[in-house]
């Protein structure tokens, strides 16, 4: 099994490497709800990678990789039919901008949480992304420093999953 293991202590184990990570400010949860700030327990496939080509080189990985654009976003609006999907801005529902002024979304790995099927209200935009320098908690994502995230991605292939807290 080629799974990325997120230990409850905030350590990732993968491909003979060990990496520090940040998780959601709400800790871990078995009952994820939109906006709770928690990181969901479970095993989820990695879907695809997005990156800011104006800031970082294309990540080396066998996962699908796409360049971000300034009008990219992610719908987090529980009343919108595009809930928990990538969208283009301007957008009439609640959303998160993927093109950020800070660097946390310079590389984004979409975690296949609540996407097959999508259950409205069970959480959206769960990613692996770049950690802030102080490893401050995320809104529910898993975050690593850029060098570590790129190292993990080098060993990811289609079918790689992340096991969070299991």
Name the pTM for this structure. 0.96
Residue with tokens 């993990």: 152
**Cβ-proximal residues to 48 (8 Å cutoff; 6+ apart), any chain:** 63, 64, 65, 66, 109, 110
> Which superfamily is assigned to 4-164 in CATH?
L,D-transpeptidase catalytic domain-like (2.40.440.10)
Yes or no: say if 153 and 49 are a contact pair by the CB < 8 Å rule: yes
Annotated catalytic residue 129: yes
Residue 144 has pLDDT above 70, yes or no: yes
Average predicted confidence (pLDDT) for the chain = 96
In this predicted structure, what is the pLDDT of residue 1? 57
Annotated catalytic residue 75: no
pLDDT digits (tens, 9 = 90+) for 34-90: 999 999 999 999 999 999 999 999 999 999 999 999 999 999 999 999 999 999 999
CA gap 10, 141 in Å, rounded: 12
Considering 21, 75, 141, 156, which one is annotated as catalytic? 141
Arithmetic mean of pLDDT, 126-141: 97
Q: Which two tokens stand for residue 68?
A: 């971000």
Considering 21, 75, 95, 129, which one is annotated as catalytic? 129
In this predicted structure, what is the pLDDT of residue 16? 84
């Amino acid at each position: 099994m080629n799974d990325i293991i997120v230990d409850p202590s905030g350590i990732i184990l993968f491909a003979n490497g060990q990496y520090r990570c940040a998780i959601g400010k709400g800790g871990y949860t078995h009952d994820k709800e939109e906006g709770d700030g928690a990181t969901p327990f479970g095993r989820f496939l990695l879907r695809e990678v997005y990156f800011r080509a104006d800031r970082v080189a294309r990540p080396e990985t066998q996962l699908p990789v796409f360049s971000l654009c300034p009008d990219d976003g992610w719908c987090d609006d529980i009343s919108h039919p595009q809930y928990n999907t990538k969208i283009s801005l301007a957008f009439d529902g609640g959303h998160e901008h993927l093109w950020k002024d800070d660097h946390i979304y310079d590389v984004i790995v979409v975690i296949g949480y609540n996407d097959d099927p999508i259950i409205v209200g069970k959480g959206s935009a769960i990613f692996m992304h770049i950690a802030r320098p102080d490893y401050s908690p995320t809104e529910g994502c898993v975050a690593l420093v850029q060098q570590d995230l790129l190292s993990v991605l080098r060993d990811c292939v289609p079918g790689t999953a992340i096991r969070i807290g299991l």
